[in-house]
Structure 1
Amino acid sequence: MIQKTKEQFVELFGKEPLIVVSPGRINLIGEHTDYNDGFVLPAAIDKKIVYAIALNGTNQCNAFAEFNQEKASFSLDAVVPTPGWINYLMGVVATLQQRGYSVAGFDCVVAGDIPVGAGLSSSAAVEGGLVAALDKLFGYGLSRMEMALIGQQAEHTFPGVMCGIMDQFANLHGKKDQVIRLDCRSLDYEYFPFAFPGYKVVLCNSMVHHSLASSEYNVRRQQCESGVKAIQRLHPEVKSLRDASKSMLEEVKEELPAKVYDRCLYVIDEISRVQTATGLLQQGKLNEFGKLMYETHEGLSKLYEVSCPELDFLVSLASEREEVAGARVMGGGFGGCTINLVEADKVEDYTSFIRSRYQERYKKDPEIYVTTIENGVTVL
């Protein structure tokens, strides 16, 4: 893919490009906790976006997207939100400009094999890859954390998705065979080895396309914030659901809409689960870790209501199989993938089983990806 992207760039623009590889991400546990100041446990994976990019000496940015064979351009004099994939590139450029960084015209080809809408954070990979490329081309000297924050701001202001920091952070800070426990409040982080050679991370795509820009994602965030406001009237020290306990939530249950209560209960439980989960990884207790994944799915489905019948069915199939340590919906929800921890020598049997049963129920073939944990954004 890297070679093809480079060749495509040379054919279109007639010069040698800089190459940047920007991975997708998985999150083992800790879903919808990042914008609640909680903890997450992500890792970068081998699905990726590839940029071929070079300066062009003009005030124009020209991009070619390999996935739909579409060209798009914009002027650096007027970088404003625009429908379509180019919006993500424009968001990065506008954020850099707003922060006082000079950006000159560039040409790029964007390719990749991260399935869009599968919950693997293709948008963060597009953002992280571009900010790293521009940092290299213009010598900004940005830290990886600064790059992640630029990507997050770009997503907030251009696509309008009020995402937490996890996706951009994992994209830029990933390490091979390591997961990262990130404190989304302090941005402190710690690496934990994912040292289970007898297991593979298997992603099962429901083929239900989701968009984090859908109104439901931002609604969940608003519901959590309204729960915090209610708790603050009795406990002013509570700044977010990270600070709240179940007993605090119970004190205000009667004044909360039932759905707001459910959202807050899920988040409080999930923040606690991530803390427990890292201890289990350190002790090599993958089956106990997997039970927490099933608990997370139950909460995401029943309390947070970001699952769908197809995802629930995939997780129920996983729970029938002894070779699966744990499974759950992954990402923002409303479609996309389940993440499954599967015994390595049973992966083929498991994927055949999933395909057969899913086709039988929904008349469509789920895409299945066996992934490895890899490094974050790499400038070649």
Structure 2
Amino acid sequence: MGAADLFLTSVGRRPDGLWAAPGRVTVIGEHTDHSDGFVLPIALAQRVVVAAGRRGDGQLVARSAQQPHEPYARALEQLAPGAAAGWSGYVAGVAWALREAGHDIGGVDIVVDSDVPVGAGLSSSAALECATALALNDLFGLGLGRMELAHLGRQAENEFVGVPCGILDQSASLLATERHALLLDTRSLAYEQIPFDPAAAGLALLLIDTRSRHALVDGRYAARQDACRRAAQVLGVPALRDATLDGVLRLGDPLLRRRARHVVTENARVTEAAGLLRRGAVHRIGPLLTASHASLRDDFEVTVPELDVAVEVALASGAHGARMVGGGFGGCVLVLVDAQAAPSVAAAVAAAFARRGFRRPLPLHAVPSGGAARIR
């Protein structure tokens, strides 16, 4: 049952509209946005759909097609950090952030449906925030721009849910365009749509969901952010975006040195990858993806065995490049591969997982898609 049908059966009327926002995958530029760095994500075809309708009693009532027995209801004036958990926290957090910013929103029924895998590093949470933000913006005539909505989604995740994410995920979900990657400067928020059409080059972006699930609220993500801030302080720069590799290599603390080295080298890889894509050299970004994974594994230390095995086997099976995506500690691997070889690479990874007793991975195709939009 889709969002519109569930809205009709649970609320008793048709919604005022439907809005959809995509998950995202970062082609390259992982763990740089919290250091004012550069990122290069795409939006995915997989989306969160929100059916929404105004109600007159000042209540936020939210339901999920994936968890139909866990409806959420709370007066808007009672929303505060900690007032919702799980999926409902992202919906309630956006409503709270809008009210905190002084925007007049009224009671609303929201029904959510999604095919973005949860916990796979594909930003299902940001997609839910962005679909909700777009719906509330339209329903209550707020007139907010997309970057404003991205900031509100980030505020919801940071302050209401308690995940210290950067602006990457919400920006990709709201700003991405079809057959392009979004080059975003997370300091200035300047962005450029970079042509990126792997299929036209005979390539495929294979996403392998390792089904090893992460939880970024457990402190490991925040600890790495803190290390990056401390490294920048020692180096005397506003953020690691301003650091040089020579300076980083002189850091005395080996932990700070590793964390900072990842950010500085990853920023350089984003810049190089964007330059290659501008020239249409899609094949040549493969080694950058692989170098990114090695950096995330060795310097940022956010991989797990399932991610490392998937990358190793994909490369051994002929992939041009592969890397983990998302916050880490589980989730997906992105593989750049010749289109005809994608099934055999996915099969090789599945066989390797079976030999090691890992859960069976799920292959998905990552197609550079358009951003959030009203669909009805």
Q: Does residue 84 of structure 1 match 2:86?
A: yes
Of residues 342, 345, 349, the one that matches 2:340 is 345
**1:206 alignment partner in structure 2:** 210
Deviations 1:75-99 (A, max 9, x none): 1121022322211111111110111
Residues in 2 aligned to 1:175 and 1:328: alpha-carbon distance in whole angstroms:
23
Aligned twin of 1:310: 306
* 1:282-293 alignment, distance < 5 Å: 282-293=278-289
Return the offset for 1:43.
1.0
Q: Is 1:356 aligned to residue 351 of structure 2?
A: yes
Tell me the CA shift for residue 325 of structure 1: 1.5
Tell me what 1:183 maps to. Answer: 185
Deviation track 1:129-160 (CA, whole Å, cap 9, x = no partner) reads 00100000001001000000000011110111
The answer as to whether partners of 2:19 and 2:135 remain within 8 angstroms in 1 is yes
Structure 1 SS opposite 2:134: helix
* Mean CA deviation greater in 11-20 or 143-152: 11-20
* Paired amino acid for 2:78: A
Give the match for residue 266 of structure 1: 262
Which stretch of structure 1 is more off in the superposition, 65-74 or 221-230?
65-74
For the residues of structure 1 that align with 2:359 and 2:262, how far apart are their CA atoms? Answer: 31
Post-superposition Cα deviations, 1:193-250, rounded to whole Å, max 9, x if no partner, equal 1133211111111111112222000000000000011111xxxxx2111111012223
What 5-or-longer segments of structure 2 have no aligned partner? none
The Cα of 1:164 is off from its aligned counterpart by 0.7
Structure 1 residue runs of 5 or longer lacking an equivalent are 233-237
Q: Tell me by how many angstroms 1:320 deviates.
A: 0.5
Alignment of 1:49-88 (within 5 A): 49-69=48-68, 70-80=70-80, 81=82, 82-88=84-90
Which residue in 2 is equivalent to 1:235? none
1:371: how far off?
2.5
Distance in 1, matches of 2:222 and 2:366, equals 29
Contact 1:24 1:49 in 2 (8 A): yes
**1:280 aligned residue (253, 276, 282):** 276
- TM-score with structure 2 setting the length: 0.96
Give the counterpart letter for 1:200 in structure 2. A
For 1:50, what is the secondary structure of its paired residue? strand
Q: Corresponding residue for 2:222?
A: 218
Aligned partner letter, 1:291: P
* Coordinate RMSD, CA, aligned: 1.2
2:249, 2:261 within 8 Å by CA — same for their partners in 1? Answer: no
Counterpart residue number, 1:227:
231
User: CA offset at residue 367 of structure 1?
Assistant: 1.2
Deviations 1:22-64 (A, max 9, x none): 1000100000001111100001111110111101111111111
**TM-score, normalised via structure 1 length:** 0.95
1:5-24, Cα deviation, whole Å (9 max, x unpaired) = 21111111122211001100
The alpha-carbon deviation at position 272 of structure 1 amounts to 0.8
Q: State how far apart, in whole Å, the 2-side matches of 1:49 and 1:330 are.
A: 19
Which residue of structure 2 aligns with residue 30 of structure 1? 29
1:349 shift after superposition: 1.9
359-368 vs 93-102, which deviates more?
359-368
Q: Which amino acid aligns with 1:190?
A: E
The equivalences for 1:32-181 within 5 A come to: 32-69=31-68, 70-80=70-80, 81=82, 82-181=84-183
d(CA) in 1 for partners of 2:303 and 2:257?
18
CA offset at residue 286 of structure 1?
2.8
Residue pair 1:286, 1:325 contacting (<8 A) in 2 also: no
C-alpha contact (below 8 Å) 2:29/2:266 kept by paired residues: yes
Match for residue 9 of structure 1 among 7, 10, 13: 7
Does the 8 Å CA contact 2:314/2:348 hold for their aligned counterparts? Answer: no
